[in-house]
């Protein structure tokens, strides 16, 4: 029974962290979850830390990755377990005892997140701590180090809570000062400036969700967007259609190509549309194509970051027998051009759908001089709003990172207009046929994140890990910890305060390489039983 209670505490801690993410969006719960994770692993041996961290990961990823079931149920189960194990591994590479653990934990979690965002199959940057915090007060830190720095700062706030619960007031104060310094630095750091305005119209054709190419009439989808375009109020400077709504053999010879050209001429405005074209029996192209006001194609951007199991199937010969009809029959061709469209309306950074979860696509376009960011997308194959809400949050992150206006447009929702501070000025409803029209700013200048990318945040993560272990291995580690708890010897602190680590014969342990300085002074809690 004690182990069962501990397992429930671990899973509940992960659920708290999941509840901080969209669509639930209770972002302060991430801090409570991180503090709970810290208490669960405090002064435990590596094996026990791994098991507890992995169970926390299951509580986090099982609900927040449920959208994967619309693509591949086996892949969802494998991903949830693998990412949970990665979190378990992250908490084993930090010292067992504070303050070394508190110094190293932000770096370990950030590096684990970076690995998950990058590998395998290009990574899956959803269900990240950063996605949940874009609505909170830590979001300005995105301008300094992107979503990776936001993850680190979020973990530091969790440490503030954990240290306060352990009555380690000095440690809590130091961690709080670190958070204040990062957020304050983001406020005064370099930003862009507005140099003009752009009147945009985002066309959402509407229709049911949970549909795929094989059970959808592509002409019907196209006509919905033509019909919705009748709602556009002129004059307008730019019209944007979603991803994948023009499905043809070749745009230059298809009737749809001429109809798009006629629309541009009627509106006297550039039109950008999401086009899918054949590229042989086993491949297809997925691009955003720009037409000028005369209906001529002036530029195109082909998608680079493909959706694994959605736009291509990794290890197809192994996976396909288990995937059924949910897997795509053809693979998308990877684009090789910069994430930028040169149009009469301006230089536009383009991140097609899935690419908005990866900061590098927007960063590349903005570094090349883009004045506005576009995210044409298509989430109609998913049921519910789990992916769609996390995508809006990711678009908000990209807007803050780049200090640009960002417009997101989808065939069935969500379409949105987002300011450079991450504010959502307009957002459509799911399945609604609507045109969102707004005036957005054209901006120049770059943030530190646009200039440097994740480099500073990665360096900080490595420094945190190294410094945490350096503190843990110091011969005078006991004196360091004693100073943190108020100036007495560590042994005296342990004698004064009852420790939850002694419950059910679960004694505080010496971590590999750590000087044993005793258990932390903290209250008892239900998760103290051995696991």
In a domain, 152, yes or no: yes
Torsion of CA 255, 294, 289, 430, to 10 degrees: -80
49/176 same-domain check: yes
CATH of the domain at 240: 3.60.110.10
Count CB atoms within 10 A of the CB of residue 504. 11
Contact criterion met (CB below 8 Å) for 301 and 288: yes
| Boundary-marking domain end, from 372, 404, 439 | 439
- Please report, for residues 23, 64, 385, the alpha-carbon distance to residue 67 in angstroms, rounded to integers and kept in the order given: 12, 8, 9
284/347 same-domain check: yes
pLDDT at position 481, please? 45
In a domain, 315, yes or no: yes
| Boundary-marking domain end, from 410, 439, 468 | 439
462/433 same-domain check: no
Domain around 392: 198-439
Helices (H), 335-488: 359-367, 386-402, 448-452, 455-473, 477-485
In a domain, 180, yes or no: yes
| Count of structural domains within the chain | 2
pLDDT at position 471, please? 95
Per-residue pLDDT of the chain (531 residues; tens, 9 = 90+): 488 899 999 999 999 999 999 999 999 999 999 999 999 999 999 999 999 999 999 999 999 999 998 887 888 999 999 999 999 999 999 999 999 999 999 999 999 999 999 999 999 999 999 999 999 999 999 999 999 999 999 999 999 999 999 999 999 999 999 999 999 999 999 999 999 999 999 999 999 888 776 677 889 999 999 999 999 999 999 999 999 999 999 999 999 999 999 999 999 999 999 999 999 999 999 999 999 999 999 999 999 999 888 898 887 777 767 665 667 788 999 999 999 999 999 999 999 999 999 999 999 999 999 999 999 999 888 888 999 999 999 999 999 999 999 999 999 989 999 999 999 999 999 999 999 999 999 999 999 999 999 999 999 999 999 999 999 998 764 444 444 444 433 333 333 333 333 333 444 444 444 443 334 443 333 344 567
352/488 same-domain check: no
- Please report, for residues 67, 107, 227, 283, the alpha-carbon distance to residue 222 in angstroms, rounded to integers and kept in the order given: 26, 47, 9, 21
In a domain, 8, yes or no: yes
The answer, yes or no, to whether the previous bond of 99 is cis (omega within 30 of 0) is yes
- Among residues 233, 230, 227, the alpha carbon closest in space to that of 438 is found at 233
Longest dimension (CA), the chain: 82
User: Strands 434-444 and 193-204: what pairing?
Assistant: antiparallel
In a domain, 526, yes or no: no
428/312 same-domain check: yes
179/217 same-domain check: no
| Boundary-marking domain end, from 439, 470, 487 | 439
pTM exceeds 0.85, yes or no: yes
155/207 same-domain check: no
Q: Which two tokens stand for residue 231?
A: 């709602």
- Among residues 109, 117, 128, the alpha carbon closest in space to that of 22 is found at 128
In a domain, 448, yes or no: no
Contact criterion met (CB below 8 Å) for 313 and 331: yes
DSSP string over 3-57: HHHHHHHHHHHHHHHHHTSTTT--TTHHHHHHHHHHHHHTT--HHHHHHHHHHHH
226/337 same-domain check: yes
End-to-end CA distance of the chain: 11
The long-range contacts involving 427-430, CB below 8 angstroms and separated by at least 24 positions, are 427/392, 428/204, 430/209, 430/385, 430/388
In a domain, 61, yes or no: yes
- Among residues 292, 252, 286, the alpha carbon closest in space to that of 271 is found at 292
Instruction: Find all residues with CB under 8 Å of 285, minimum gap 6, and list them.
Output: 275, 276, 277, 278, 279, 302, 332, 333
14/144 same-domain check: yes
pLDDT at position 288, please? 98
In a domain, 346, yes or no: yes
Residue found by looking up tokens 């999401």 in the block? 274
Contact criterion met (CB below 8 Å) for 152 and 460: yes
288/413 same-domain check: yes
Count CB atoms within 10 A of the CB of residue 85. 15
150/265 same-domain check: no
168/225 same-domain check: no
Helices (H), 137-276: 142-165, 169-188, 218-229, 255-267
For residue 253, what is the DSSP state? Answer: T
């Amino acid at each position: 029974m004690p182990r069962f209670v501990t397992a429930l505490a671990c899973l509940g801690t992960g659920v708290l962290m999941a509840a901080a993410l969209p669509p639930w969006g209770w972002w302060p719960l991430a801090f409570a979850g991180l503090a709970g994770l810290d208490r669960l692993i405090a002064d435990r041996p590596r094996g026990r830390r791994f098991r507890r961290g992995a169970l926390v990961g299951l509580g986090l990823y099982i609900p927040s990755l449920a959208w994967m079931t619309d693509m591949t149920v086996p892949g969802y189960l494998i991903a949830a377990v693998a990412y949970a194990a990665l979190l378990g591994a992250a908490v084993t590479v930090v010292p067992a005892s504070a303050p070394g653990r508190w110094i190293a934990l932000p770096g370990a979690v950030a590096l684990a997140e970076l690995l998950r965002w990058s590998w395998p199959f290009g990574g899956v940057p959803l269900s990240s701590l950063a996605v949940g915090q874009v609505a909170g007060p830590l979001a300005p830190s995105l301008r300094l180090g992107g979503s990776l720095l936001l993850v680190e700062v979020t973990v530091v706030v969790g440490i503030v809570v954990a240290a306060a619960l352990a009555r380690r007031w000095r440690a809590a104060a130091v961690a709080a000062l670190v958070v204040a310094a990062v957020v304050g630095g983001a406020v005064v750091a370099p930003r862009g400036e507005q140099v003009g305005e752009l009147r945009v119209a985002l066309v959402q054709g509407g229709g049911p969700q949970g549909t795929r190419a094989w059970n959808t009439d592509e002409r019907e989808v196209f006509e919905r967007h033509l019909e919705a375009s009748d709602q556009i109020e002129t004059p307008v400077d730019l019209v944007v259609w979603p991803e994948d709504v023009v499905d043809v053999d070749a745009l230059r010879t298809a009737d749809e190509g001429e109809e798009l050209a006629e629309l541009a001429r009627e509106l006297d405005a550039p039109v950008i549309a999401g086009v899918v074209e054949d590229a042989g029996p086993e491949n297809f192209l997925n691009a955003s194509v720009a037409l000028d006001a005369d209906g001529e194609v002036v530029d195109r951007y082909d998608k680079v970051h493909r959706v694994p199991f959605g736009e291509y199937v990794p290890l197809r010969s192994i996976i396909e027998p288990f995937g059924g009809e949910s897997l795509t029959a053809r693979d998308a061709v990877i684009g090789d051009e910069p994430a930028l469209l040169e149009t009469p309306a301006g230089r536009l950074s383009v991140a097609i759908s899935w690419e908005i979860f990866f900061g590098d696509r927007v960063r590349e376009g903005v570094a090349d001089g883009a004045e506005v960011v576009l995210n044409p997308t298509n989430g109609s194959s998913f049921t519910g709003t789990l992916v769609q809400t996390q995508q809006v949050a990711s678009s908000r992150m990209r807007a803050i990172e780049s200090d640009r206006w960002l417009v997101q447009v989808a065939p069935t929702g969500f379409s949105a207009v987002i300011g450079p501070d991450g504010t959502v000025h307009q957002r459509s409803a799911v399945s609604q046929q609507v045109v969102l029209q707004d005036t957005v700013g054209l901006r120049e200048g770059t943030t530190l994140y646009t200039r440097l990318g994740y480099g500073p945040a990665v360096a900080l993560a490595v420094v945190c890990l190294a410094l945490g272990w350096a503190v843990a291995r110091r011969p005078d580690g006991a004196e360091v910890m004693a100073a943190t708890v108020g100036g007495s010897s560590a042994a005296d602190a342990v004698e004064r305060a009852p420790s939850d680590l002694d419950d059910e014969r679960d004694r505080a342990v010496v971590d590999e390489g750590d000087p044993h300085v005793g258990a932390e002074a903290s209250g008892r809690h239900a998760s103290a039983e051995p696991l």
